Amino acid sequence: MREKAENIAARIPNLVLRANKIAESILTGLHSKKKVGPGETFWQFKKYEHGDPAQLIDWRRTAKTNEIFIQERELETVQNITLWRDTSASMHYSSKINIDKKIDRANLIVMALSIILSKTGENISLNGHKQKPLRGKAATDFISDQIYKNIKNSYIDNPNFIDIKNNSHVIIISDFLNPITKIEESLKILANKNIHGCFVHIFDPSEHSLPFKGRVNFNSLEDNSSILIGNVESIKKEYVRKINNHYKKLKDLISSHSWQYISHTTISLPEEAVKNLFLSLNQQNKLNI
C-alpha cells in the first residue's frame, strides 16, 4: 500500500516538472518572436488624444519626450479556458512499458497547458470541479492538486457542460473511443452555447495498428467483457479499417462544427501536442500574448 502510494506521489512533482519544462520551451519559443519584456497588461504607448482618461497618462514616458503618452492596456478579453481530460478506465492503458499511459499523457498536457495559460493570465478551470476559474499560480496549484487527487480518488469521467460558461474556450482531451453519436451530442450542446474549442485525441499506437499475433484474449478496461481471438493477424485488416473509419467520422464531426482537432499518439513528444494546442488557441482567440 505504502509503496504504491509513494510511487503515485512521486509521479506528481515529476508531472509538474515535466509540464514546467514543456511550458518553458514553448513560452521561450513564443517570446523570441514577440516583443521584449513580459508586461502582463501593458500593450503599447499611444499618443494622448483628446478624450483619453487622464489617469492613463504614463508620466515617466511623457517626461522623456515632448509629447504626452498614455499607457494603453490590452483590451480586457480575458478568456475562460476550460480543460477537461478523460479519466475513464480506457485511458489507463499503454501497450508497452516504456510508453506513457494515455491518462498520463493527458495529465501532462493539461498541466503544461495550465502553466502556460497561467502565465498568459487566462482564467483556467478544470472541468468537473465546482471551482471558479482561477488565474496564475493558484490555477496551476489547483490543477496539479486535482490531478493528484484524481489519481488517488475517483475519476470524473464525463465533462460537465452546464458549468461551462458561454464564450469559454474548451479543450477536451480523450481517446474518443465512445460511440460517435455520444460525442456528437455533447458537441451539439457546446455549440449551442457558442462555445468553441479543441479536441485532443490521444491514442496508443497499438490501438491504431493491432500489432498482436496468434491466440489472444482481449480484455476490456472498462468492464469485465473480453473477446477471445483465435488468430489476431487474420482480423487485423478489418480492425484497422474499422478504427480508421471511426477516426474519420470523429474528425469530420469536429470540423463540421469548426472545432479544432489535434491527434496525438503516446509515442510522440508531448511538446508537440502542447504547442499545437497553444497555436490553435492563438488562432481562434487573440490571447494576451
Partner 1 sequence: MSFFSSLSLISPSALWALVAIPVLWFVLKMYPPSPKNIFFPPIQFLNNLGKKEETSSSTPIWLLIYRILIILIIIFAFANPVYNPTQFFSKNGPFIILVDNGWPTSVNWEKRKNKIFEFIDIADQKNLPVILVPTTKKDISSDKIELMSPVDARSKLETLSPNPWPSELDYVNKILSRLPLDQNYNLVWLWDGINHDTQEKYQRLVYRLNDLGTLKIINYLNDLSTKVISNVKRTRDDILNVEIIRSLGTIEENIYIRALGANGEILVRKKTLFNLGNRKTKIDIQLPSKIMNELSYLKIENVNSAGSIYLLDEKWKKRNVGIFGDKSLFRTQPLLSPIYYLDRALKPFSEIKLGELKNLINKNISVIFLPGIGKIDNENTNNLKKWISKGGILVRFASPNLMASNNDLLPVTLRTSNSRSLGGALSWEKPAQIKSFNKESPFYGIKIQNDIFIRNQVIAEPSPVLASRTWASLEDGTPLVTALKIEKGWNILFHVTANADWSNLPLSGTFVEILEKIISLSFSSNRSLNSEILPPYRLLDGFGRLTDPYPYSAPINLDEEKISITYSNSPGFYGNDLYRRAINLGKYIKNLEPLVVTFPEKVSYENTIPDKSLYLKSWLMIISLILIFLDHFLSLLIRGRLKINKIPFSKILKINTILLLIFTTCLSNNDIYADDKLSSLQPQLGYIETNNIEIDRISQEGLRTLGKVLETRTSILLGPPKKINITKDSISFLPLIYWPISSDSKTISEQSLLKIKNYIENGGLLVFDTRDANPSSIVKNEVTDEQKILKEILRPFDLPALIPIPGDHVLRRSFYLLNEFPGRWTGEKLWVEATAENSRDGVSSIIIGRHDWAAAWAKINNKPIFVVVPGGEKQREYSYRFGINLVMYAMTGNYKADQVHIKSILRRLQNLNFNEGQKGSETPEHEMDSYTKKAINERFREIEDEENAK
Q: Which is nearer to partner 1, 148 or 203 (CB)?
A: 203
Q: How far apart are CA 270 and CA 105, in angstroms?
A: 7
CB of 183 to partner 1, least distance (A): 14
Among 153, 154, 234, 258, binds partner 1 (CB under 8 A): 234
Question: Dihedral of the CA atoms 230, 234, 238, 240 (nearest 10)?
Answer: 90
Q: How far apart are CA 168 and CA 188, in angstroms?
A: 15
Among 42, 45, 48, 93, binds partner 1 (CB under 8 A): 93
Answer yes or no whether residue 104 interacts with partner 1 by CB under 8 A: no
Question: Which parts of 62-91 interact with partner 1 (CB under 8 A)?
Answer: 90-91
CB of 214 to partner 1, least distance (A): 2
Answer yes or no whether residue 286 interacts with partner 1 by CB under 8 A: no
> Which sign does the torsion angle of CA 282, 27, 125, 157 carry?
positive
Answer yes or no whether residue 231 interacts with partner 1 by CB under 8 A: yes
CB of 91 to partner 1, least distance (A): 8
CB of 248 to partner 1, least distance (A): 14
Residues 6+ apart with CB under 8 A from 185: none
CB of 272 to partner 1, least distance (A): 22
Q: How far apart are CA 217 and CA 45, in angstroms?
A: 67
Q: Which is nearer to partner 1, 195 or 202 (CB)?
A: 202
Question: Which neighbouring-strand residues pair with 203?
Answer: 265
* Residue span 180-219 as binding mask against partner 1, x where in contact by CB under 8 A, dash where not: ------------------------x-xx----xxxxxxxx
Number of residues that bind partner 1 (CB under 8 A): 36
Answer yes or no whether residue 35 interacts with partner 1 by CB under 8 A: no
CB of 155 to partner 1, least distance (A): 14
Pairing of strands 42-47, 69-73: antiparallel
Answer yes or no whether residue 235 interacts with partner 1 by CB under 8 A: yes
CB of 158 to partner 1, least distance (A): 17
Q: How far apart are CA 76 and CA 20, in angstroms?
A: 27
Q: Which is nearer to partner 1, 102 or 169 (CB)?
A: 102
Q: How far apart are CA 24 and CA 85, in angstroms?
A: 22
CB of 203 to partner 1, least distance (A): 8
Answer yes or no whether residue 96 interacts with partner 1 by CB under 8 A: no
Stretch that binds partner 1, among 14-22, 51-59, 157-165, 235-243 (CB under 8 A): 235-243
Distance of CA 1 to the CA centre of its chain: 31
Q: How far apart are CA 206 and CA 98, in angstroms?
A: 13
> Which sign does the torsion angle of CA 96, 144, 277, 156 carry?
positive
Q: Which is nearer to partner 1, 27 or 267 (CB)?
A: 267
The footprint of partner 1 (CB under 8 A) covers 90-91, 93, 102, 175, 177, 204, 206-207, 212-222, 225-235, 238-239, 242-243, 246
